Amino acid sequence: MKLTVLVDNNTYIDRYYLGEPAACYLVEDGAQTILFDTGYSDVFIENAARMGIDLARVTDIVLSHGHNDHTGGLPAFFSRFSQPVRVTAHLGAFQPKRAEGLDVGSPLSLAQLPDWVEIRLPTKPRTVSEHVVFLGEIPRVYPFEQDRAVGETAKDCCCCWEPDGLADDTSLALVLEDGVFVVTGCAHAGVCNTVARAKEQTGKQRVLGVLGGFHLFETGETLTQTVDTLLALGVERVYPAHCTSLAVKSAFVRAFDTVEVGVGLTLEW
């Protein structure tokens, strides 16, 4: 299995890829090639080309949630690639979303997806490939991670708006021989809630690592509880990315074996 960071806020020195405040990861598992999120624009396509990665091999697109820094690249992908793909996401990922007066939802609705796309909208965990699990809705079990609403989302009637608790936020669990490796988009559901869900659904007690956005920006009690809980959950290594501030990354460096994430990072198991 192989994971490649195609988009992140951070780029490495002397590695000439493009960055943007967004996330996109490529997971290769046997015959399946999974695009986890699509960034904000077509940057992921350019980066893949510079890395020698052929996105015509993509068999699956999985969305962590509906914000446009994770879904914004969908139009670019479907304008350039036409192979049959499966799109797996929570239904809420395609609901309109807004924040601070701006449209922050997916640029494509379900009805606008191409007819060659197979659409899967599970709320419960589902296997994407032999070793990759879509975690579905993440139960908010830790009190310090319960209230994480961002902006508003349209109700089912699409005529009214309500606070967006981001029930659509989910992550991937990579099931490895020695344990589980968790890949988040923004972890709006809470990174601790997400790791707990991954352990529960995979039956793996060893957490080899957590990579992705943690949606943490401030130091203080919430960060302290997050670090303590991840340690208690047995997380061995962290790869904080995307929506994780420098101050928060610094706290993780002090508490964990921490890896700097940037465009082009590749992990193989």
Q: Is the pLDDT score of 158 beyond 70?
A: no
Mean pLDDT of the region 14-37: 98
Bridge partners of residue 51, in order along the sequence: none
Average pLDDT of 169-183? 98
Q: Total domain count for the chain? A: 1
pTM above 0.75, yes or no: yes
Burial class (CB within 10 angstroms; exposed 0-12, middle 13-18, buried 19+) of 140: middle
Residue keyed to tokens 């002090």 = 254
CATH number of the domain where residue 124 is located: 3.60.15.10
Taking a C-beta distance cutoff of 8 angstroms, is the pair 69, 39 a contact? yes
Taking the C-alpha atoms of residue 168 and residue 54, their distance in angstroms, rounded to an integer, is 29
pLDDT single digits (tens) 200-224 = 999 999 999 999 999 999 999 999 9
Q: Which tens digit of pLDDT belongs to each residue from 51-95? A: 999 999 999 999 999 999 999 999 999 999 999 999 999 999 999
Domain limits for position 198: 2-268
Could you give the 3-state DSSP secondary structure of residue 59? coil
Strand 32-36, strand 60-62: pairing: parallel
| Sheet arrangement for strand 161-163 | 102-103, 97-99, 152-154, 161-163
151 vs 69: CA distance, rounded Å:
14
* pLDDT of 156 above 70: no
